Structures are given as C-alpha cells and as structure tokens.
Amino acid sequence: MAFLEVKKLNKYFPIGEDKRFHALKNIDLSFEKGELVSIIGESGSGKSTLMNILGGLDSSFTGDVFVDEENIGQYEEKQMVQYHKEKIGFVFQSFNLVSHLSILDNVTLAMTLSNVDKETRIERSIAILDQLGLQEQHKKKPNQLSGGQKQRVAIARALVNDPAIIIADEPTGALDSETSEQVLDIIQQIAESGKLVILVTHSERVAERSSRIVTIADGEIINDKKMGSLDKVDNTFILRPLDKKQTNKNLSIFSAIRMALLNMKEKLGRNVLIALGGSIGIMSIVLMLSLGQGVNDYLTETMNENVNPLIIETKMTEDTKTKDARKERVDKEEEGKNAAVSNGPSLPINIGGNGEAKGGFEGPPGTQNELAFDKNNIEELQNIEYVKTIIEGFTSFSFSKNAVEYEDENYTYMNFGTVSPDMTPSNIIFGELPEINEVMITEGLATSIADEADKMIGKEINVKTEMGEEILEGTYTISGIYTPGDAVGPAGIFESVFMTMETFKALNEEAGKKTESNVVYITSEAEGFTKDIKEEVKELGYAGSSSDILTEIFSQLLAIFTYILTGVAGISLLVSAIMILTVLYISVIERTQEIGVMKAIGGRKKDIRRIFVSESFLIGFFSGILGVGIAYGLSFIGNLFIESIFDATVFNMTPMFALAGVFVSIIISVLAGLLPANKAAKLDPVEALRRD
C-alpha cells in the first residue's frame, strides 16, 4: 500500500434542505514520500476540498483515505489531533499567521499546543527560521514582513513538527514571480528531504517544477502525469525529527494564559476599557461591604470604649423566664422527663409587639421592668467559670410617670436604676456616687431643674418611680451628676435617676414590696475571660446589656442595609458580565482564522476553549484588581474626609473583602466567557480558513 492512498473518495456538500453538491467524484489516488505533486485545476474544481480531506480538516466524506496504512476517516478527535500534529503541515495562500504573535511564537505554536519544553521549542523554531533565511525576523510581528517572508514563516510553522506530509494550497497565489520562485525552491527542497508535498496551484509554470501533475476538473481526476525526477537544488535542509513522545502532550494552562495575555496586549486599549467597565461593579460591592463593616466597627468600638472590660451586664429574657416556669411545672408533675428544649435566647424586646406583648409598645430595648432574676438564675450565673462576683441591680423605665419634685415643681425623667459597677469617675461630672438615701441624676435632668447642674448637688428631691401598678416615692439627697459620655443605652439616651441597691430595697420595703433584680453585673476574674463568660451567659439563655442589645439591633439593621446596597451594586456585575460576553463573542469572530489555524496544527477543542477561558479569567482578574484598588482609594479618601468632620472612619476594607472582590470578578468573567469559548472551540476549521 502506498504511503497515502485515496480510494473511491466522494464528497457531497449539502445545499439547502434536500439538495447536495457532488464536489469530489470517485477519486482514486496514491502518493509516496519524496514526491512533489502539483494538483492543478480551475477555480471551483475541488482542489481545496480534496486538500481539506487529506489534511484531516474535513471528515465528512465517503470512501477511504489511508495514511501510513491507517484510515483517517475513522479517526476519533484525539487521533485526528495527533494526525495534525505529527503527519500534516499546512501552508495556505493567505499565510494565516497569527497577527498578535511574534514570528517565533507563530512557529513554536504547534509545539506549544503539544506542550513541548520551551528550550526545544525555541531551538527547533530558530533552526528552521534560520534555514529559511529569516534570521533577523524572530521578534517581528507578521504584518512587519513582506509576502514572501510571511510565506516562509508559514512554511517554517508547517515544518517545525517534522510532519510526513506538507499540504500547500496555492502557496504562491499571493506572491510575485520572484518570491514565488524562492518559495518553490524551498518547497522542492522539502520534497527532496523525503516528505510528500502536495501543492495546489493554478499556474502551469509552478506545476512544471514538480515530479507529478494531477489535473482535476469538476471534482474528477482527468489526468495524472509523472514528470520524472526533480531538478537538483542545493539541499540545505537538516531537520532533526521531533521525538514523538513530545507531541503526545497538550497545551499547558501556563501557555494558554500566556497566549491570552499576548492577545490582550495586542488590543490593549479595548481590554483596559473592559477591565474598567468590569471593575465598577466590583468596586461598588467592595465599597458597600467596607462601609457596612466600618460603621459596624465604629459602633462596637464606641460601645466598648465606655464599658468596663471586666464587667458583663446581663438581663433576663422572656424565653428563659417562660422556660424556667414551664420547667418548674414539669419538674413538679413528673420527674425524669425532659423539659422543652430551648430555642436559644431571644432578646427581651418587643418592637411593635408580638402576641405576648402586654399593652402595645413596651418601651425601647432593654427597658422592660418585669423580667426578674430568681435565685436559681443567680446561682447559675455565679457558677460560670472565671466569674468573680455577681452584683444584682435594678433598672426600670417609664414614659410619663417617673418624675422628681423639687421646690413644688415636677420634672419627668424616664430611666430609673441602681448604680452599676460600670459607672466610673469619668461619668460623674460633679459630686460622687450615691450612698444610702442619696441619688445621682443625669446632667440633663439637673439642668432642667437648675440652670447649672452642679447647683443641684446636696439638694433634696422627691423621687417618684413607676413600679408595676404603683408609684413609689421617697426623698433623697443628690450626691452627684452623671453624664453618659458616649455610652449607648437607656442611661445614654434618657434622663435618669440612680440609687444604690440598698436604698432601692428600703424604698420597696416601705411600700411593702419585694425587691427584685432585673439586671446582673458579672465581674470577670480577668479581662481575657470576659468574652468567654459573655458567650456562656448567652448560651444559658440570658441577654446582654441594653447597650449590647442595641448594638446587636443596629448591627442587624446595618447588615440588612449593607446587603440591600450590595445587591443593588451587584446589578452592575450583571452588566459587566454581559459586556464581557459580548466582547469575547466579537473576539471569537475576529479570531476565526487563528482558531482555524490552531485546529489545523493540532489544537484540540479543549485547548481553544482553554485559551478563551484564560482570556476571560484574565479580564476578570484585572477588573477585580482594578475594582478593589479603586474601592481602596475611594475608601481612603472617604475616611480622610469623614475623619475631618466626625473623628471617625466609616470604611473598613478587610483583606477578606478585597479577596472576595477579585474572586467574584474572576468567577463572573469566566462564566460569561464560557459561551464564546465554546463557540470558538466548535468552529469548523474548513469554514474558518476559507478565503474566497
């Protein structure tokens, strides 16, 4: 069997629904290595169609094509890719060089697709380019070369993998006669070096130089003429065979990224614009998240600044209270059976009131009066590890019935409470903490009575406080004036009266009431334990301090706002995804020819997809970096600006946000790139390379 055998080859092109065009009719041909065969025939006679079939670009035919005794018509994709890499080298009339790759990169491309090591790649390519007289041109781009030089580069590319067959479809069609001769000299040398060269030409003069002329007309071989041996030309070709093991591998991710980068560099302006467009969405999202974080940090920080780090303020919760009550009942009824499992603590608040709310609005968070601790609760808290002491306290709230009377005038206040260990000398602007039968009042309350707060020190006032259904009343001396500083919570917002627990007990006794505590101050043995104790307290079903509760509510609201704003910003991500999709589609169309070339020299679908996905990856990466960078810049400027007004920073871009920004950008871009990449991978190389 000959090296290349064509048997009963027929090719039909479907036209429309039910018609087909018979382009090749019962072709029988056989070729041997070392032949230089010219295929001549008029335009439209079927020459290119035949070449595409021999070169494995078109597999839809009937009949057989054997190369080296293998039927290429039965090849799977993988075998066909290997056939392109090892057996076939293409030279086209229109050169089909990849315009954004250097001459050297154009030649190495076939080996890059096989992941041949870089050294071998460059060494072989340079050797061939040198032999073809292109020593000085390695770094140039194709459009910097003349037609003859371009065709020599294309020949170098066809030869670099040392294929057995070179298919040259009108290689001199676009060249003047002088350069045509040079190219033909080279082609003849290739045949003399032992390869089968099939040369398609219009020109009788070109055909004259070959060892055999096959004439085709209307898809039929009408003449097959041997011309005798080739004229001798100096044989200067030395091609070391490429180790076949090396062509077995595939395009590496690294090379795919490099190729994507080279292409992006070629269209730098466009890609900078895309990255800018894509960065806007990422920027807004990162900025929103940073703002949320910054405000939250500011809040927490301000809270903690005014809180003694050793003290944990704790309140009773509705859930724990009812659970305890139920538990007691169950315990009494039937021992051994477990009580209902807690759903975890809930906050002792009722905004807008739920079913259990007694009489509508119950006051701001942390101002309920009725949730008292009992002995068991106190014991439970006392038993937490690292708890040093437990101080019980009381705090209550009334909208209209709490008042102090001074010189026959009534002044309302809202918050009534016992002195907490949280109160530091810095909170007391005048006087001191109250002792028995003394009270401390807030600065605002004091100034509503007298024009200057310190004038009230030592004065006697009558304090009225709402306690359940009753109003308790007592006369006390003012020992000090309290200022909340930056503290948040009832005492930070509302006018208040404070007394010691002892005084409070006496007040209750006078009215015949039992003293209950509804707030507990836990002292930690050391600062390091505070956090753990706090957590344990929560786990047991108790709530944090009023300020903790407020902070938590603020944080929750803030989180909701942040998510909404981030979601809105996220819409711009959708816009950039569509933009990237469009741009990559355009890129696929622009690069049709390049994709065709890659397929012809052994690029798999997967490799082509990989190159395009790499490109969208890079777009996403750069957009992400840009977006995060701009967000960083803006939050820096924003912080400077706000700091100059409020003495606070409100943007806090954590490394997490920055990373997430880049990551999301990459994901979105790659997803948007999948469709175009798929389109590129599926491109038909015959269509892609057709030049009419």
Residue (15 or 645) nearer to ligand ADP, CB: 15
Nearest to Mg ion of 171, 673 (CB atom): 171
Helix (H, G, I), strand (E, B) or coil at 6: strand
Query: Closest distance between ligand ADP and the C-beta of residue 44, in Å?
Result: 4
Nearer to Mg ion, 27 or 260 (CB): 27
Summarize as ranges the residues that interact with ligand ADP (CB under 6 A).
Answer: 13, 15, 21, 23, 41, 43-49
**Among residues 54 and 101, whose Cβ is nearest to ligand ADP?**
54
CB of 94 to Mg ion, least distance (A): 11
Question: Are 642 and 650 contacting, i.e. CB atoms less than 8 angstroms apart?
Answer: yes
Q: To the nearest whole angstrom, how small is the minimum distance from the Cβ of residue 48 to Mg ion?
A: 3
d(Cα 25, Cα 8) in Å, to the nearest integer? Answer: 8
Shortest distance (Å) from residue 169 CB to Mg ion? 6
Binding partner of residue 464 among ligand ADP, Mg ion, none, CB cut-off 5 to 8 Å per kind: none
Nearest-angstrom CA–CA distance, 166 and 4: 12
Distance CA 252, CA 254 (A): 5
CA distance 188 to 227: 14
- Reading phi first (left if > 0) and then psi (alpha if -120 to 50, else beta), residue 200 is in beta
CB closer to Mg ion, 125 vs 210:
210
Task: Name the minimum Å distance from CB 223 to ligand ADP.
Answer: 15
d(CA 263, CA 480): 77
Q: What is the rounded radius of gyration, in angstroms, for the C-alpha atoms of the chain?
A: 44
Residue 185 contacts residue 232 (beta carbons within 8 Å): no
DSSP 73-137: GG--HHHHHHHHHHTEEEEETT----TTS-HHHHHHHHHHHTT--HHHHHHHHHHHHHHTT-GGG
Q: Minimal CB distance to ligand ADP: which residue?
A: 48
Nearer to ligand ADP, 156 or 200 (CB): 200
Q: Which stretch binds Mg ion (CB under 5 A): 47-55, 137-145, 229-237, 340-348?
A: 47-55
Sign of CA dihedral 581, 584, 590, 596: negative
Q: In this complex, which beta carbon is closest to ligand ADP, that of residue 13 or of residue 636?
A: 13
Shortest gap between Cβ of 55 and Mg ion (angstroms)? 13
Q: Which is nearer to Mg ion, 48 or 161 (CB)?
A: 48
Torsion, CA 651, CA 656, CA 661, CA 662, rounded to 10:
130
Shortest CB 15 distance to ligand ADP, Å: 6
Nearer to ligand ADP, 49 or 189 (CB): 49
Cα 40 to Cα 202, 484, 637, distances in angstroms: 6, 100, 72
Q: How far is the CB of 36 from Mg ion (least distance, A)?
A: 19
State the nearest-atom distance from the C-beta of 214 to ligand ADP, in Å: 12
Candidates 45, 48, 367, 562: give the one binding Mg ion (CB under 5 A).
48
Point out which residues pair with 396 in neighbouring strands: 416
23 binds, among Mg ion, ligand ADP, none (CB under 5 to 8 A by kind): ligand ADP
Binding span for Mg ion by CB under 5 A among 41-49, 61-69, 451-459, 509-517: 41-49
Nearer to Mg ion, 581 or 689 (CB): 689
673 interacts with, out of Mg ion, ligand ADP, none, CB within 5 to 8 A per kind: none
Instruction: Residue 13: name its binding partner from ligand ADP, Mg ion, none (Cβ under 5 to 8 Å by kind).
Output: ligand ADP
> Of ligand ADP, Mg ion, none, which one does residue 46 interact with (CB within 5 to 8 Å by kind)?
ligand ADP
Cα–Cα distance for residue pair 333/331, rounded to 1 Å: 6
275: nearest Cα among 675, 685, 662: 662
Only one of the segments 45-53, 77-85, 174-182, 599-607 lies at the binding site for Mg ion (rule: CB under 5 A); that segment is 45-53
Length of the chain: 692
Cβ(576)–Cβ(623) below 8 Å: yes
How is the beta sheet containing 519-524 ordered, strand by strand?
A: 311-315, 519-524, 387-393
Query: Is 420 a residue that touches Mg ion (CB under 5 A)?
Result: no
Indicate which of ligand ADP, Mg ion, none lies near residue 44 (CB less than 5 to 8 Å, by partner kind): ligand ADP
Q: What are phi and psi of 34, to 5 degrees?
A: 90, -10
Structure tokens belonging to residue 7? 């048997």
Token pair of 337 as six digits: 């059976």
Q: Whole-number minimum distance, CB 289 to ligand ADP, in Å? A: 53
Give the residue with the Cβ less far from Mg ion, 218 or 374: 218
Structure tokens at 284: 């807004």
**Which of the stretches 48-56, 291-299, 429-437, 519-527 binds Mg ion when contact is defined by CB under 5 A?**
48-56
Cβ 10 to ligand ADP shortest distance, Å: 13
Among ligand ADP, Mg ion, none, partner that 41 touches (CB below 5 to 8 angstroms by kind) = ligand ADP
Quick one: 183 or 216, whose CB is closer to ligand ADP? 216
Judged by CB under 5 A, the number of residues near Mg ion is 1
Instruction: Write down the least CB distance from residue 608 to ligand ADP, Å.
Output: 21
- If phi > 0 it is left, if psi is from -120 to 50 it is alpha, else beta; for residue 627 that is alpha
Q: Which residues bind Mg ion (CB under 5 A)?
A: 48
